[in-house]
Structure 1
């Protein structure tokens, strides 16, 4: 059973979780022991256990934290744009930027552990839903070429799932961030009104 991630953290724990997330995003988590993490973060294992009762649950907490931070970053970028098509572009560009620090090892470790793979999958579904909302908003304002928002969202969702499964890395040699950049360009071109 996964630990309750909703518990309130102290300021010190928030800082530790942030540093832990940065470390794991850069290097992955499967090969690191709790002793490794404690040494690298200059804390005790007891301090890490205060974040989660096991290494597996700590990995889940870190991946959840990564996606929580990423979502906040992405939505702040979207909020800066007013033009509907630019909001869609900003969303996909920001997703690419948020994923850029994620090492291949981190992405592979997420894929190799069902609870973290489920977190990535849930975030992919949420991303497709958010794209549909943005396309619906843009279509309502007649700011994009006439499209079926459900189709666009499904297309984006299927592509995001393929990115998550590593298919673009394997078939096209593209990391997740680069694949999101390409997806953003394609969506932008597909939705642009003809000149």
Structure 2
């Protein structure tokens, strides 16, 4: 789901490293739940019960903090999505597990978080990169299922292009605007459509 360098999120070292790591996780959870455009560094410090100096120890600015937190959100999601995928062996179940896991990982994120992502280019780029990586993963799963005879013969490149287009529309909030669906709900519906269309 994600293709993000491990160097893109803070790696606290030295004394107090564990606390700073915990603080970064708390920051990530806060931004995912409530968004970030309306929050100042003073707000974040107050909500996290720390000083602004401590936050500057994680990143040099609010913008850098936000981007690092977005990277962390998708990194954690990717680990759990891939774990869900690894637990399945049958092609249709693997595809379903992947998309449902993506939906489950996006579910805790608020609409405000996704709206703020769309409006903040450095964070939007992270989401876009993850979306395209996820689309490639779906293409791989379709290719595996088709080769194994579990899926109907389809033009895989065309199917992948359609899927990518839908996933990008979800990421850019266009599906939400057109349908009222959350990103998580949209992925759940995409999973159902794919499975009904591909399985023999």
Pairwise TM-score range, normalised by the shorter structure: over 0.9
Question: Hey, what does 2:185 align to over in structure 1?
Answer: 178
1:90-147 Cα deviation digits (max 9, x unpaired): 1110111100011011000000011111111101110111101111111221111111
Q: What's the TM-score once normalised by structure 2's chain length?
A: 0.91
Q: Note closer, same or farther for the CA distance 1:78–1:15 as it changes in structure 2 (3 Å cut).
A: same
1:115 equivalenced with 2:122 (yes/no): yes
* Number of equivalent positions: 190
Q: Is the 8 A contact 2:9 2:68 kept in 1?
A: no
1:142 equivalenced with 2:149 (yes/no): yes
Q: 4+ runs of 1 displaced by more than 3 Å?
A: none
Q: Which runs of 5+ in 1 are unaligned?
A: none
Q: Which has the higher contact order (CA 8 A, sep 6+)?
A: 2
Distance in 2 (CA, whole Å) between partners of 1:11 and 1:87 is 36
Question: Hey, what does 1:44 align to over in structure 2?
Answer: 51
1:5 equivalenced with 2:12 (yes/no): no
Distance in 2 (CA, whole Å) between partners of 1:78 and 1:13 is 31
Choose from 172, 188, 200 the match for 1:165.
Answer: 172
Deviates more, 1:63-72 or 1:137-146: 137-146
Q: Note closer, same or farther for the CA distance 1:107–1:134 as it changes in structure 2 (3 Å cut).
A: same
Question: Hey, what does 2:26 align to over in structure 1?
Answer: 19
Choose from 110, 127, 139 the match for 2:134.
Answer: 127
